[in-house]
Chain A
Amino acid sequence: MSQIHARLAGVTRVFPGSAGHGDVHALGPVDLDLARGEFFSVVGPSGCGKSTLLEVLAGLQTPTQGAAAFEDKPIGAETPEGVGVVFQEDSSFPWLTVWDNVAFGLKRTALSGAEIETRVRDALAFMGLKDFHKAFPAQLSGGMRQRVCIARTLVLRPRLILLDEPFGALDQQTRLLMGDELLRLWRETGATVLLITHALDEAAMLSTRVGVMSSRPGRFIDLVETGWPRDRDSRIVADPAFGAVTARLWSNLRGESLKAMGHA
């Protein structure tokens, strides 16, 4: 088994222009090797192509140039088996209960009913949704709905989990606690995680490595190894080394964010 779990090689993505607008060069060229079992975060200014990068890895967008691979197999026009995705916007299905949302991807698989039930129950407990399995998403808060989406992905036991700003809508305290949940998930599943976030402290706290992207077209301008122990939690934010990492991320990002806002 290769140590490189997923790879982007010279990936660019250009959206063809529509009437009155030129082509949009959204991403790249980007090279990225995700090691098996690492927790990699991506930070970058708004609109720099983070979601585009994630969708290339998910097989939802084909690169204009370059190639993407997962477990040594090229990623084509469909999501590879073993890759799970949580999207930036709420994507829970409003017509299904929490339970049925979470079980959604397991129906019509070879799994037995009992196995499905166990997995769904475990995922609901893990995400703190046990008491809400009969509720519909409309009855939940935004953060709980996002947890439903994470649980829906988790039950499939993905080996690579792609998360696109899953806590973007949450307040700071809840985000820190959800971060702890993510760390626990990562430790217990041993999966490779790619997390897109706009919160530098979140990236610094959760990741083994953080990639800093430039303004559009996004490229990696810095890769920061954090070097935290695997069994850390959110208390790490008090560590002086933590401040050093976030400071480095911000010093890289500040100029790019200004550019993205049209100030440079």
Chain B
Amino acid sequence: MSKALDVAMLIAVLIGLWQALNWYAGDVAISSPYDTTLHLIAQFERPRFWLHLAESIKAFGYALAIAWIGGIGLGVWLGAHRFAGEVAEPIVVALYSLPKVTLYPLVLLIFGLGISSKVAFGAIHGIAPVALFAMNSVRNIRPVYIKVGRTLRLTPLDAARRVLIPAALPEIATGLRLGFSLTLLGTLLGEMFASQRGLGFMIVNAIGLADTKTMMAVTLLLFIFAGTANAILLAGERALHRRV
């Protein structure tokens, strides 16, 4: 209960700061919480907004699927193959810490201006943490669990399903959460730089038109989405970790 109170207080403080900034800088620089919320609600009555939203959801969905599934596949494989893991780990770490903007020209050259380059850019952001956490989760599985599986005469498939995956899951979940945030970031960046559609484009376009209210409304929507999703993923992750 006190946790809900904490969250409510945090949100109240953020809104307070926002309002203060609005008073200080004026409506042209930053629109007020109230105006922004009204403007966001109004967006949902505009068909064009729905087009942009659908485009972003689609791009993010594809990127997230690639980052999550590809990252788990890559990470589990690298974790299980020691030599490959040792070779690949520095490369994946480099990809993780590299400012991905440096790869953007390359992505554009390969994928062009459409949705695929956004998806690629989002996936590039998200896949590295997912892979790194999955790789470590497999490496950290206690050998005695594998021995128990063998003495209980599990088939390799059952050993994977009933021992290896549950043992690795808590750490994989952490990677999935980080991958989620970074994939969202990457997808939106992709939309901002070279796209005519999507919420990222809407933001950049609104900035160009000095349409502060629209820029802020879309940002607010993204903030709510990212915050909610992160809270849900974090709760799932905590439930997995608590038992260990």
Task: Using CB atoms and an 8 Å cutoff, list the residues of chain A in contact with chain B.
Answer: 55, 58-60, 78-79, 81, 83-85, 87, 89, 91, 93-96, 104-105, 107-108, 136-138, 156
Contact = CB atoms under 8 A, between A and B. Distances in A.
Contacts of A58: 151
B150 A91 contact: no
Chain B binding surface, main DSSP class: helix
Given A105-B152, A107-B162, 12 more contacts: A60-B147, A60-B151, A79-B150, A79-B151, A84-B151, A89-B142, A91-B147, A95-B169, A95-B240, A136-B243, A138-B242, A156-B152
Nearest to A105: B152
Contact of A79 (B144, B153, B240): B153
Of the listed residues B144, B148, B242, the one surrounded by the most CB atoms of chain A closer than 10 A to its CB is: B148
Contacts of A108: 158
Nearest to B147: A60
Interface string B126-147: 0000000000000000101101
A89 B169 contact: no
Contacts, number: 54
Chain B interface size range: 10 to 19
A138 B158 contact: no
Contacts of A79: 150-153
A91 B144 CA distance: 6
8 contacts: A55-B147, A60-B150, A78-B150, A79-B153, A87-B144, A104-B152, A137-B243, A138-B243
A137 B148 CA distance: 16
A179 to B, nearest CB: 23
Interface string B147-169: 11011110000100011001101
B244 interface: yes
Contacts of B167: 93, 95
A137 B163 CA distance: 15
B150 A87 contact: no
A64 to B, nearest CB: 19
Contacts of B153: 78-79, 81
B203 to A, nearest CB: 42
Contacts of A55: 147
